[in-house]
Chain A
Amino acid sequence: MAVAAENQSQPPQNDLPYVLILKPPSAFSIFGDHFFHSPKFQFLKPFESPLPLPQFLLTHAQSVQAILTSASGSVTADTIRLLPRLGLVVTTSQGINHIDLSECRRRGIAVAGAGTIFSTDCADFAVGLLLDILRKVSAANRYVKQGLWSSQGNYPLGNKLGGKQVGIVGLGSIGTEVAKRLEAFRCSISYNSRSKKPSVPYTFYPNVVELAVNCDALIICCALTDETHHLIGKKVLSALGKDGVIINIARGPIIDEKELVQCLIKREILGAGLDVFEHEPDVPVELLALDNVVMAPHNAVCTTESLEELRKTVVGNFEAFFSNEPLLTPVPLDDQPHLSG
């Protein structure tokens, strides 16, 4: 979206606190700039200014108490250090790997995210991708819409989902919703997580390779951290095997994308369903011609319903902050694994 001349910032109202929009969220593109409007605060939009970002931040340093960002807008230590009055970072994503949490902890800056509002949409999408890959939904839809059913005959058979062993990497809020859904399809669920969860009925495997050996489909539902970066590499993909499927609705860098591409080209795994990629929006060009992959442009959570929930959550968090009330969806900074911001 080019900077639209008509999208002028409102004239500053001196009594309203400022929220800096570091990275315009996708909701703005769909619903317009006023999607997160509130009478209790106003937005600073550096992307509408001719000033380069650092200059803009220096100019407004004393005014900025809060930041609104999204999954692809990194909040680094450098940015934070330019804003001495910063007290809150709100991200429109459920993931928080793009925020320097240790710097926030050091400075006493609160962080709030989407909480668990996207968990069901993510889980639904994971199931949708899994069904699509196994039953060739997108591929067969393409076939029919090209008129090939009448000219070339029946489409090749897919693979049954029922009875498959599904391995969930990261049994958090999203992973739990995925498990609940796939149980209804008569899948057996196993998982790998940072620690075993004693109250869940699923089989725990202490590492992802063992999980992959013992399942037909791997579903990536974990956060991106230093430990999970390239967690899925050659070893895991080999263990998954030529009848195995991998679904990623978490973060692109959790998978070694170059290895995955090779496995898909050589048919060393059955297929992949991917909503995320290492270098979005760049997608490896080799994938674009393959029929054993289903891809989406990181839009698993962009449903009308969830975006409305997000709107309430984002606005609610800022309003709470500026009224000295508890945040709606605070991210606890104490027990986070080491995250490179």
Chain B
Amino acid sequence: MESIGVLMACPMNSYLEQQLENRFKLFRFWTVPDKSSFLASHKDSIQAVVGNAFAGADAKLIEALPKLEIVASFSVGLDKIDLAKCKEKGIRVTNTPDVLTEDVADLAIGLMLAVLRKLCESDRFVRSGKWKRGQYVLTTKIKGFLFPFVHFVSVPFLTSTIFQLFQFTGKRVGIIGLGRIGMAIATRAEAFSCPISYYSRTEKPEIKYKYYPSVVELAANCDILVVACALTTETHHIINREVINALGPKGVLINIGRGPHVDEPELVSALVEHRLGGAGLDVFEHEPEVPEELFGLDNVVLLPHVGSGTVETRQAMADLVIGNLEAHFLKKPLLTPVV
């Protein structure tokens, strides 16, 4: 298969890159200075595109590659791929479901705990040396008396900064999108006795969690709102001003979906103005750009799109991409086809 041309859309994983290089003729799109002329000169060689959450195959790219047979995404999300165009042209599409479900769900819970319990701020406080240099309450030393030396005691950091820490156990968790990842978040949160409710395109009668027919109603009835649905034209800015207001000054938003799920300027102003209680965000509208107004907020945790970012899972995802490509070119059934 060394003659099959594979276009990798952007750097995503060195193990995957190496595997692709070993098996196919690999073109690294990000190293090409003039993309249009590259496509013009290589259009007959490229039969596969490997994309991810940042770059995939839009209509323009698909049109430029007449020999394109398959788009294999190093992600479960498909928002960077023009699925309609692929269907139209008979181009296969694969993604990486299931292998990353646990890691993404784990991170969603990790973000909830980090936001409510101010883990990052606690760590920052200790590193700053302020716990050590805290103000002293009681100091006594009695010489020649069998009385214990009462230690210098610093007041806990809660007084140095006005921190409010919130319990996670028992908080109401509202999930937007009850697919694989949404369900995995639900089962984890249940172990913390969190009542679960959800919004989905349609109610799922076999699910025991409470269904709300709109995101606003879900937001009004939960303490922590998690975005876990796919990004489509319908779910673009599904978190808007109305939803944020419904979630309110004690509510927390967790986004492990896609940046464009959230109206980011609205979110930023709500957080800065304390109209929203807190946020844990793994994704942003214009990654890797992150609104700087969020940097100084102690009730906000920001992560650089690491939902599936573990050694184990990225390897499993890479193996799935390779497996799908090999299956296609060996004319065997695809492992995880979408189209």
The answer, among A52, A155, A296, A306, for a CB contact under 8 Å with B142, is A52
A-contact 0/1 string along B88-120, CB 8 Å cutoff: 000000000000001100110111011001011
Contacts of A155 in B (CB 8 A): 303-304, 306, 309
In the assembled complex, A157 has its CB within 8 A of some CB on chain B: yes
In the assembled complex, B203 has its CB within 8 A of some CB on chain A: no
Known contacts A124-B192, A283-B132; decide if A160 and B312 are in contact (CB<8 Å): yes
Range class of the A interface residue count: 35 or more
Q: What CA separation (Å) do A295 and B132 show in the bound complex?
A: 13
- Would you call A281 and B192 a contact (CB within 8 A)? no
Closest B residue to A131 by beta carbon equals: B110
A35 to chain B minimum Cβ distance, whole angstroms, is: 13
The answer, among A137, A154, A186, for a CB contact under 8 Å with B119, is A137
The answer, among A124, A129, A157, A304, for a CB contact under 8 Å with B311, is A157
A-contact 0/1 string along B302-330, CB 8 Å cutoff: 11111001111110000000000000000
Closest B residue to A181 by beta carbon equals: B191
Contacts of A186 in B (CB 8 A): 102
Q: What CA separation (Å) do A142 and B128 show in the bound complex?
A: 13
B270 to chain A minimum Cβ distance, whole angstroms, is: 19
Q: What CA separation (Å) do A74 and B147 show in the bound complex?
A: 11
Contacts of A23 in B (CB 8 A): 138, 153
Closest B residue to A155 by beta carbon equals: B304
B255 to chain A minimum Cβ distance, whole angstroms, is: 14
Closest A residue to B282 by beta carbon equals: A140
- Would you call A145 and B302 a contact (CB within 8 A)? yes
Contacts of A199 in B (CB 8 A): none
- Would you call B164 and A304 a contact (CB within 8 A)? yes
The answer, among B150, B167, B306, for a CB contact under 8 Å with A140, is B306
A191 to chain B minimum Cβ distance, whole angstroms, is: 17
Contacting residues of chain A (124-149) with chain B, CB-CB under 8 angstroms? 124-125, 127-129, 131-132, 134-138, 140-145, 147, 149
User: What is the count of residue pairs linking A and B with beta-carbon distances less than 8 angstroms?
Assistant: 222
B79 to chain A minimum Cβ distance, whole angstroms, is: 19
In the assembled complex, A311 has its CB within 8 A of some CB on chain B: no
Contacts of A154 in B (CB 8 A): 288, 304-305
- Would you call B140 and A53 a contact (CB within 8 A)? yes
- Would you call B138 and A282 a contact (CB within 8 A)? no
Q: What CA separation (Å) do A11 and B209 show in the bound complex?
A: 55
In the assembled complex, B41 has its CB within 8 A of some CB on chain A: no
A46 to chain B minimum Cβ distance, whole angstroms, is: 8
A44 to chain B minimum Cβ distance, whole angstroms, is: 14
- Would you call B155 and A185 a contact (CB within 8 A)? no
- Would you call B148 and A160 a contact (CB within 8 A)? no
- Would you call B168 and A137 a contact (CB within 8 A)? no
- Would you call B134 and A281 a contact (CB within 8 A)? yes
In the assembled complex, B34 has its CB within 8 A of some CB on chain A: no
In the assembled complex, B232 has its CB within 8 A of some CB on chain A: no
In the assembled complex, B158 has its CB within 8 A of some CB on chain A: yes
Q: What CA separation (Å) do A288 and B302 show in the bound complex?
A: 21
A223 to chain B minimum Cβ distance, whole angstroms, is: 21
Closest A residue to B310 by beta carbon equals: A160
Contacts of B157 in A (CB 8 A): 297, 299
Known contacts A127-B113, A143-B304, A144-B303; decide if A288 and B126 are in contact (CB<8 Å): yes
In the assembled complex, A303 has its CB within 8 A of some CB on chain B: yes
Contacting residues of chain A (88-123) with chain B, CB-CB under 8 angstroms? 120-121, 123
- Would you call A302 and B156 a contact (CB within 8 A)? yes
The answer, among A128, A132, A282, A302, for a CB contact under 8 Å with B158, is A302
B212 to chain A minimum Cβ distance, whole angstroms, is: 23
- Would you call A283 and B126 a contact (CB within 8 A)? yes
- Would you call B165 and A299 a contact (CB within 8 A)? yes
Contacting residues of chain B (287-309) with chain A, CB-CB under 8 angstroms? 287-290, 292, 294-296, 301-306, 309
In the assembled complex, A59 has its CB within 8 A of some CB on chain B: no
- Would you call B135 and A2 a contact (CB within 8 A)? yes
- Would you call B102 and A137 a contact (CB within 8 A)? no
Indicate the member of B124, B167, B292, B294 with the most A CB atoms within 10 Å: B167
B181 to chain A minimum Cβ distance, whole angstroms, is: 13
Number of B residues near A (Cβ < 8 Å) is 73
In the assembled complex, A24 has its CB within 8 A of some CB on chain B: yes
In the assembled complex, A200 has its CB within 8 A of some CB on chain B: no
A62 to chain B minimum Cβ distance, whole angstroms, is: 19
B-contact 0/1 string along A193-222, CB 8 Å cutoff: 000000000000000000000000000000
Q: What CA separation (Å) do A232 and B295 show in the bound complex?
A: 37
In the assembled complex, A294 has its CB within 8 A of some CB on chain B: yes
B-contact 0/1 string along A289-315, CB 8 Å cutoff: 000001111111011111000000000
Q: What CA separation (Å) do A226 and B150 show in the bound complex?
A: 21
Closest A residue to B290 by beta carbon equals: A144
Contacts of A298 in B (CB 8 A): 156
- Would you call B309 and A157 a contact (CB within 8 A)? yes
Q: What CA separation (Å) do A338 and B158 show in the bound complex?
A: 33
Contacts of A127 in B (CB 8 A): 109, 113
Contacting residues of chain A (150-193) with chain B, CB-CB under 8 angstroms? 150, 153-155, 157-162, 180-181, 183-186
In the assembled complex, A26 has its CB within 8 A of some CB on chain B: yes
A249 to chain B minimum Cβ distance, whole angstroms, is: 11
Known contacts A140-B304, A296-B126; decide if A161 and B114 are in contact (CB<8 Å): no
Q: What CA separation (Å) do A280 and B134 show in the bound complex?
A: 11
Q: What CA separation (Å) do A304 and B166 show in the bound complex?
A: 6
Q: Can you name 30 A-B pairs with beta carbons within 8 Å?
A: A1-B155, A1-B159, A23-B138, A54-B142, A72-B151, A72-B153, A125-B113, A128-B113, A128-B114, A131-B110, A135-B106, A137-B120, A138-B124, A141-B303, A144-B303, A145-B302, A150-B288, A157-B309, A157-B310, A160-B103, A160-B311, A162-B103, A181-B192, A183-B191, A184-B188, A185-B191, A281-B132, A294-B119, A296-B119, A304-B166
Q: Which residues on A are within 8 Å of B, measured CB to CB?
A: 1-2, 23-24, 26, 29-30, 47, 52-54, 72, 74, 76, 78-79, 120-121, 123-125, 127-129, 131-132, 134-138, 140-145, 147, 149-150, 153-155, 157-162, 180-181, 183-186, 280-283, 288, 294-300, 302-306
In order of increasing CB-CB distance, the 9 nearest A-B pairs are A128-B113, A184-B191, A131-B110, A296-B122, A162-B102, A305-B167, A295-B126, A29-B159, A120-B169
